[in-house]
Amino acid sequence: MAGAAVGRAQVLAFRAARHGLHERRPQRRLRDAVAPFGIQDTPPGTAATSIAARVDLDGPPPTDGLLVLWSLRGAPHLIVPGDHALFSLGVLPAEGTRQSLWRQPEDALVAVEKAMHAALEKPMTKGELSTYVTGKVPPELAPFCRACDANHPSESIFRGAPLLGRLVLESTSPVVVARAATPATGDVDALRTELLLRYLHAYAPTTSGHFAEWAGITKTDAKQRWVAVADALVKVGKAFVLEEDLDELRRPSPVSGVRLVPNKDAYLQARDRDLLFPDPAVRKKVFPMLGGPGVVLVDGEPAATWRGTGKGKRYDIVVEPFTKLAKAATALLDDEAQRVARARGHDEASVTVR
C-alpha cells in the first residue's frame, strides 16, 4: 500500500512527540520517559540531560530502580527493569552475522560472556574483568591491542556480552560490571520484532538500513527482522511507516517550546541526518568524528548547538544558533538551561548566545 509523501516539518513534529519532547511528564512518570528506547548515557552523566528534556524535574533525576547495560550500538543505556529482555536479547545480533559485524570469530561472544559471568561472583571494574577474561579464553579471542599494548577481548565483544541477558552495569564512571539479579529470558524472535516496532513508532518514515545502524546490527539481520512487520507498513517516499501511524505522521500535533538535548539523545539517533540537518555544514558541526555538541530544539526544529561546562555550583552553557533565534526562543533558553543545570547537580546556569 502506498502512502502520500509528507514534508520535513511533519516528520520532525511526529518524531518530537513520539520522543516525549512535546510536553514534559510529571516526575512520577519518569519511567514512561525512559521506557520506549532507553536513555543513552554517553558520556557518563548526560542521561540526566535527556531525562530533563522529557520530565518535569527540579534536580537530578531519581534513577534508582533502573537498570544500566551496554545495549544499542554497544552504548550504555538506562532502561526500566521490565524491558531488560527487550534491550538485551532483542538487540542481540543474529547468529551467522556476528563475525561480519564485529570482525571476530562467530563464537567469540558466547565464550567471552561465559568467562565474564563466571568471574563476576562480585562486581568488578572493566579493567579487572578484562584481565581475568583474557586469561580464561583462547588466545584468538583476546587479540593484541596496539592502543593498550596488551592482549584483551575485542571491545565490541565485551560490550556485546550483556546482550545475552546475564550482565548489567553497576556504574558507568568508572565502568563496573555485575551479574544481573534476574537473567533476561523470552522469545528472541518476538523481542526482536518488538524492538523494531518501537523503532518504527518513533523514527518513521524509515528503512531497514537505518534500523540496522540504529540498533547496531548488520543490514542482513535488519532485513530479516523487517519481514515480520512488512505487511503492516506503508511506503512514504522512499521510506516506510506503520499504517497505524500514517494519519498522525500526516497530521502531527503541533510541538512548541525549547529543549536542550545532548548529542547522543535518542531523538538525534535517527540515521537520516540529512533530514534533521539539511545543511551539510551544520551536520558536520553537530556530528564531528569525536564528541559533538548538544542541540537546541525550538518547536521540534533543530535550531542551534550548545555545550555546557560545570564550574562549581554553576553550569555555563554556550549556544551557537544556525540562524538568528526568535526572541521568544531566546527568552525560554534561560529556563531550559536552569533545568539542565539542576538535573546535572548544579545550582544555577548561565547562558551565552554567540
Q: Which residues lie below 8 Å from residue 2, measured CB to CB, with a gap of 6+?
A: 234, 235
Helix, coil or strand: residue 90 = coil
What is the predicted pLDDT for the residue at 148? 84
**Cβ–Cβ contacts within 10 Å for residue 281, how many?**
9
**Alpha-carbon span 43 to 293, nearest angstrom:** 12
Q: Residue 320: what pLDDT?
A: 96
Task: Lay out the sheet containing 258-261: strands in order across.
Answer: 258-261, 294-298, 301-311, 314-321, 348-353
Most confidently predicted of 138-142, 212-216, 234-238: 212-216
- Amino acid in the structure at residue 209: G
- pLDDT at position 2, please? 53
Q: What is the pLDDT of residues 89-108, one digit of tens each?
A: 999 999 999 999 999 999 99
* Contact criterion met (CB below 8 Å) for 171 and 63: no
pTM listed for this prediction: 0.94
Residue range 246-302, pLDDT digits in tens: 999 999 988 999 999 999 999 999 999 999 999 999 999 999 988 899 999 999 999
For the chain, domain boundaries: 1-257, 258-353
% of the chain residues with pLDDT over 70:
99
Distances (CA, A) of 330 to 149, 166, 324, 336: 49, 47, 10, 10
Which pLDDT does position 1 carry in this prediction?
44
338 contacts 316 by C-beta, under 8 angstroms: no
- Residue 285 has a pLDDT of 95
306 contacts 320 by C-beta, under 8 angstroms: yes
Residue 334: how many other CB atoms lie within 10 Å: 14
pLDDT for residue 3 = 55
Residue range 128-151: mean pLDDT, rounded: 90
pLDDT band of residue 145 (cuts 50, 70, 90) is: confident
Q: Which of 7-21, 120-134, 141-155 has the lowest mean pLDDT?
A: 141-155
At residue 4, the pLDDT reads: 62
Burial class from Cβ neighbours inside 10 Å (0-12, 13-18, 19+) for residue 69 reads buried
DSSP assignment letter at 68: E
Q: Where does the chain have alpha helices with state H?
A: 8-18, 30-34, 47-52, 98-102, 108-119, 126-134, 155-160, 188-203, 208-215, 219-226, 246-250, 273-276, 280-286, 327-343
C-alpha cell at 91: 538487540
Q: 147-175, pLDDT tens digit by residue?
A: 888 888 999 999 999 999 999 999 999 99
User: Residues 220-229: pLDDT tens digits?
Assistant: 999 999 999 9
Task: State percent of the chain over pLDDT 90.
Answer: 90
**What's the pLDDT score for residue 291?**
86
